[in-house]
Amino acid sequence: GKATVVQVPLDDTETLQQMIDNEELYEKLLEDAELLDELMEPLDMERVLAAEQSPLFFGSAMTNFGVQLFLDKFLDMGTSPVGRLAKQNNKPSDNDNDQQLIPPEHEEFTGFIFKTQANLDPKHRDRLAYVRVVSGTYEKGMKVGHSRSKPGKKYNLAQAQALFGNDRSSVERAYPGDIIGINNPGNFAIGDTLFTGTGKLAFPGIPSFSPERFCYIRSPNPSDYKSFRKGMDQLLDEGAVQALRQRNDDGGGPLMLAAVGQLQFEVVQTRLENEYKVKSIMEPLSYTLARWVGGGWEAVDKADEDGKLFGIMIVQDRWGRPVLLFRNDWKAAALQEEEKSLELMPWAEPPSFDD
């Protein structure tokens, strides 16, 4: 339930001591507050709104401590919806002059997917995509275009949900600034744009963090392979981790996972066991850096023939694009300097379905 919030200034020592009723904890509070004052910059809302600073809250969702305070402050700090730059006809461009601002009052519906989640209800194995509405109005049953699908392809948004914690409620209409959860048919990915109207449109994609941890993962029980594959496919769709394979592997070889930190691997294993009833074994690899090759396989083959890829692992991502794994930053920087045709990148967005 909703927790009662009582705010007490730090300089009101008498009230604080009465409420805490523990001298050791009271002294620890003052010590921590002093430490924060020394280490952290003061809150500057102008910098927050310019995306140069992030507010920091302390609390625990598990014990329902500080949650209500965070929600109240979040509402106070929030602003009215703002427009976003978008590429018309989905033409690739890094030039802001080739992009158009889509304001909230734009007539057509537009929104972008910032999160996907699978298996919210284990009984139904449902998959949701979370959409932030940028312009127009969402209406139940509307048909929308998709930034990575073919121009004529439409998706029916039969229903949408508003989610808060474990609570769900059906949404008939949604407006700019609202966040809705829609059914994910398996084609929606983080960073995708949904829109109505005749022209194709795409907001800038949302890059994923460059992975620094790698491992092979497999199911020790052959009879669980189908459940293992289904679980991994859904977790990969969420973006919990990234998947890599050997260059010539068409799907039957060992699956390699890539993540920023070890915790992501542990979450995958736990969810496989709890949600899909599948155990898994992970075998860590000694690489610490991944770079996507913008120059394609031709550039990889040339560098390999020149002997420049010694000690570097050549793999492919889920869409068959070349990825190089390095053991240190120095090797990656040196290769980029020597073989500029590789066009090394720390991440890559999902490709269009037209590719």
pLDDT of residue 168: 85
pLDDT of residue 97: 60
Query: Which tokens go with 169?
Result: 């409620």
Residues 270/271/275/277 CA torsion (nearest 10 deg):
-50
Mean pLDDT in residue range 124-146: 91
| Sign of CA pseudo-dihedral 327, 333, 338, 339 | positive
Helix, strand, coil percent values for the chain (each to nearest 5): 30, 30, 45
Cα–Cα distance for residue pair 193/54, rounded to 1 Å: 26
Query: Which tokens go with 178?
Result: 């609202």
Give the pLDDT band of residue 256 (cuts 50, 70, 90).
very high
**Residue 75 CA: distances (Å) to CA of 59, 68, 69, 79, 203:** 17, 11, 10, 8, 25
Instruction: Quick: pLDDT tens for 226-255.
Output: 999 989 988 888 888 999 999 989 888 899
Give the pLDDT band of residue 343 (cuts 50, 70, 90).
very high
Closest listed residue to residue 186, CA positions, set 234, 146, 154, 225: 234
The DSSP bridge partners found for residue 161 are 170, 181
Cα–Cα distance for residue pair 36/41, rounded to 1 Å: 9
pLDDT at 129 over 90: yes
Which residue do the tokens 């699978």 mark?
118
pLDDT of residue 196: 95
pLDDT of residue 207: 76
The DSSP bridge partners found for residue 130 are 115, 181
CB atoms within 10 A of CB 27: 11
pLDDT of residue 62: 83
Looking at the chain, list the stretches that DSSP marks H as alpha helix, in order from N- to C-terminal side.
Answer: 13-20, 23-39, 45-49, 67-77, 225-238, 262-275, 296-305, 329-338
pLDDT of residue 65: 86
Mean pLDDT in residue range 255-272: 95
pLDDT of residue 283: 96
pLDDT of residue 95: 55
Coil, strand or helix: which one is 340?
helix
Residues 98/103/107/109 CA torsion (nearest 10 deg):
80
Q: What is the share, in percent, of the chain residues with pLDDT greater than 70?
A: 94
pLDDT at 102 over 70: yes
Given a contact cutoff of 8 angstroms between Cβ atoms, the answer to whether 157 and 110 are in contact is: no
pLDDT at 91 over 60: no
Closest listed residue to residue 129, CA positions, set 86, 189, 169: 189
Instruction: Quick: pLDDT tens for 8-51.
Output: 898 899 999 999 999 999 999 999 999 988 988 899 999 998 88
Lowest mean pLDDT of 174-178, 314-318, 328-332, 346-350, name the range: 346-350
User: Rounded to an integer, what is the distance from CA 121 to the centroid of its chain?
Assistant: 20
Instruction: Quick: pLDDT tens for 156-215.
Output: 999 899 987 778 899 999 999 999 999 998 889 889 999 999 888 999 888 777 899 999
pLDDT of residue 136: 96
Give the pLDDT band of residue 1 (cuts 50, 70, 90).
low
Q: What DSSP string runs through 18-86?
A: HHH--HHHHHHHHHHHHHHHHHSPPP-HHHHHTTS-------BTTTTBSHHHHHHHHHHH------EEE
pLDDT at 7 over 70: yes
